[in-house]
Amino acid sequence: MDRNTLKEMVKGTIVTTPTPFDDDLKLDLSRTREITQWWVEQGLGTNISPLKVTAAGGECAALTDEEWLQVIKTTVDAAGSDAIITCGLKTRSTVHTIEDAKKAQDAGVVALQIDLPFYNHPNQDDYVRFFSDISDAIDIGIMIYNTHWFGAPSITAETLLRLSDAEHVFAVKWNTPTLEEYSRMKDFSHIFNVINNGGDPIDCHKMGGIGYKTWSATAYPQHDLDLWKALDECRYEDAQNLLDNQSLLMKGRDKSNLKSGGYRHLKACMTAMGQDVGQPRLPTLPLDEEEISELKQILRKMKWL
């Protein structure tokens, strides 16, 4: 696939999905199939709401290599041939990342989310080599995840421009240490799809961004479908109203993180909305009954419940 095709296939609200586990914290593929079909029925898995499995929010780091591939294959099969499925990869060397990328490609995903190779203490030249080599080896898309908070230098606008010839690099999940650096997206948003990650999705859209990542859509899809529609139509006041309402949920997430980190809030929100997908794997703690009760109160105030 060429870059322009990929840019049309993956944009809008990028939906990070949780990985279902059973009561023994083992992979629950039956539930994976069931919940994937529900997401598709609710309008997710399209080119403006692609599902992103086995990312950090899907506890990729807690999955074995075999489990990682099982989740991808099960999701692709359950979603159907018309659905848009992307996946996250574990952070590895160039050779091993290419091996994983080819496995995901063969399983039917259309694009990959690939972190900066932070374990290798890279520089900007390393980024160009890393992503170019992967692009040359595969036929599906690459969304660069600018994971600078893991200790690697943030990928720069200049480096991204150097990657313009890497045909399968079509998007960047954009977060930077400073607002000044964030605004540099205007230098490359005409080349790559810029997906907001942690900044203001309205500001991102005004500067040429074409999407944002979400975890809440897996529990209540309509909110994010409405939010993207408002952004796409430049109805920024409507978009802000939706974001203001969602801020209650974000405050609940911040409180949750004081007890335990990870992505416990993602699975907790699913449980509170009646779509249980199990608990997170340790060391992340599950939300207890009191926390779930508080979360339900928040969701009622938001009129999601």
Please identify every residue annotated as catalytic.
145, 173
Give the CA distances from residue 280 to residues 3, 83, 107, 218, in Å, rounded to whole numbers and listed in that order: 35, 26, 25, 16
Distance of CA 289 to the CA centre of its chain: 27
Give the CA distances from residue 243 to residues 13, 203, 220, 303, in Å, rounded to whole numbers and listed in that order: 13, 13, 14, 13
CA distance 78 to 91: 27
CA distance 270 to 142: 28
Distance of CA 164 to the CA centre of its chain: 22
Which residue, chain included where needed, has tokens 């203490």? 121
Helix (H) / strand (E) containing 212: strand 211-214
CA distance 139 to 61: 25
How many residues belong to the chain?
A: 305
Coil, strand, or helix at residue 170?
A: strand
As a dihedral over the C-alpha atoms of residue 257, residue 116, residue 61, residue 47, rounded to 10 degrees, the angle is 90
Q: Under a CB-based contact definition with an 8 Å cutoff, are residues 131 and 114 in contact?
A: yes
CA distance 115 to 146: 6
List, in order, residues 6 or more apart from 61 with CB less than 8 Å away: 90
What are the residues facing 141 on neighbouring strands? 111
